[in-house]
Amino acid sequence: MPAFRLFWRQISALIRKELMALIKDPSARVLLLAPPIMQTMLFGYAATFDIADVPYAVVDLDRSAASGELLARLDGSGLFQREATLASPSQIAPLVDRGDVLLAITIPPDFAAKLEAGQPAPLQVILDGRNSTTAGMAGAYLASIVNGFNRDNAGSGATGGVEIVRRAWFSPNLESRWNILTGMVAGLAMIQVLMVAALSVSREREQGTFDQLLVTPLTPAQILIGKAVPSILVGLMQSTLVMAINTLWFHLPFNGSLVLFYFGMLSFMTSAVGIGLAISAIALNMQQAMLYTFFVVMPLMLLSGLITPVSNMPEFLQIATYANPLRFAMDLVRRVILEGAGLSDVAWDFVPQLGVMVVTLPLAAWLFRHRLS
């Protein structure tokens, strides 16, 4: 079909040109490759709630065999790091204030005596709540150690000690960095995909090449496709980079199908590009394109489950996230990578993304034509 061949020829020329414009300058190439690599490495290490060696201080007013054993358990757990052994509870405040310790334990003088008497023996624990999530984590560690202490010291026939046998599917050690690492596969790429798509038209407007493009027989639809494809490729490339670092460096499993993963990413990038192109059609210059992009990016990131789970949000915001393709891309990535989910498990993740595409792409095309006159 000659009409189709002509159509394809024109589009492929445009795609080639857009790709060259993106990767021609060495600095532009660096900007496409370095950010996902650097961010994945940095944030992979930084974005974790798991704290090894919780720094703590202790005030042991009991100095009994029992208190000694409890502290030995803490120090030997590998989870706690004793920073200070204090004589009086009044010395705790400055250490916590300065952030030198996250947790302080006061063992009252009658600790051993109460244990011996079969009474509850309270431990006074102070946590630094300036980050209540970390504090909660440290509190949970402490509770599990105290639990073990109780179980081993309770006499036979005790009913208090029920062992909780924990098993985590898909992530045996429940490493909290896995959450960010899988989230970044879609999230990091989205930022640049949106920006590349949003700036692609306004950059031509500012440099005066847009008119030159418009006098060619290229139709608005062709121009849109020609601008969309390179952005999508950029996104897929970045997702692949993050994915590779995840598996090769951070040793995340890849349990699902690679084909399904890329199919999901393709669908996600297309819907993100739809948003980007709609922005580019609205923006008159690069500054506007960039600022509008960020106006959109921030809520998309925050309402995606990248940092905090969507299920913790109030109902109305959970409903709002249905307009957020990133939320479903993240869900899809986590399910496919970690859970080994198949197409039937994640099919519903595609629906909202398709919805976004169906709205944004025609909108971009319409705005495009509308703006021309």
Residues 151-190 that bind another protein (CB under 8 A): 153-172, 174-179, 182
How many chain residues touch another protein (CB under 8 A)? Answer: 146
Under a CB-based contact definition with an 8 Å cutoff, are residues 129 and 96 in contact? no
Q: Which residue in 29, 45, 63, 109 binds another protein (CB under 8 A)?
A: 45
CB-wise, 123 or 351, nearer to another protein? 123
CB-wise, 210 or 263, nearer to another protein? 210
Q: Which pair of structure tokens corresponds to residue 224?
A: 């849109």
Q: Which residue in 283, 326, 357, 367 binds another protein (CB under 8 A)?
A: 283
Q: Which pair of structure tokens corresponds to residue 11?
A: 């589009």
Question: Minimum Å distance from CB 19 to another protein?
Answer: 11
Name the strand (E) or helix (H) holding 351: helix 343-372
For residue 237, state whether it binds another protein (rule: CB under 8 A): no
CB-wise, 73 or 262, nearer to another protein? 73
Question: Minimum Å distance from CB 16 to another protein?
Answer: 7
Residues 51-110 that bind another protein (CB under 8 A): 51-53, 55, 70, 96-99, 102
Start-to-end CA distance of the chain, whole Å, equals 32
Question: Minimum Å distance from CB 87 to another protein?
Answer: 20
CB-wise, 320 or 363, nearer to another protein? 320
For residue 111, state whether it binds another protein (rule: CB under 8 A): yes
Residues 133-152 that bind another protein (CB under 8 A): 133-137, 139-140, 142-144, 146-147, 149-150
Which class for 130: exposed (0-12), middle (13-18), buried (19 or more C-beta within 10 A)?
exposed
Question: Minimum Å distance from CB 84 to another protein?
Answer: 15
Residues 254-273 that bind another protein (CB under 8 A): none
Question: Minimum Å distance from CB 248 to another protein?
Answer: 17
For residue 251, state whether it binds another protein (rule: CB under 8 A): no
CB-wise, 57 or 357, nearer to another protein? 57
CB-based contacts of 45, cutoff 8 Å, min separation 6: 177
Residue 155 gets which letter from DSSP? P
Question: Minimum Å distance from CB 240 to another protein?
Answer: 19
CB-wise, 39 or 271, nearer to another protein? 39
Site string for another protein, 287-316 (x = CB under 8 A): xx-xxx-xx--xx--xx-x-xxx-xxxx--
Question: Minimum Å distance from CB 105 to another protein?
Answer: 9
CB-based contacts of 208, cutoff 8 Å, min separation 6: none
Name the strand (E) or helix (H) holding 268: helix 258-282
Rounded to whole angstroms, the Cα distance separating 267 from 230 reads 14
Under a CB-based contact definition with an 8 Å cutoff, are residues 54 and 98 in contact? no
Burial annotation 76-102 (CB, 10 A radius, 16+ → b, else e): eeebbebbeebeeeeebeebbeeeebb
CB-based contacts of 57, cutoff 8 Å, min separation 6: 82, 83, 84, 85, 86, 91, 92, 95, 100, 101, 103, 104, 105
Amino acid at 230: P
Sign of CA dihedral 146, 148, 154, 158: positive
Q: Which residue in 118, 319, 322, 358 binds another protein (CB under 8 A)?
A: 118
Q: Which residue in 25, 76, 319, 358 binds another protein (CB under 8 A)?
A: 25
Sign of CA dihedral 300, 326, 177, 181: negative
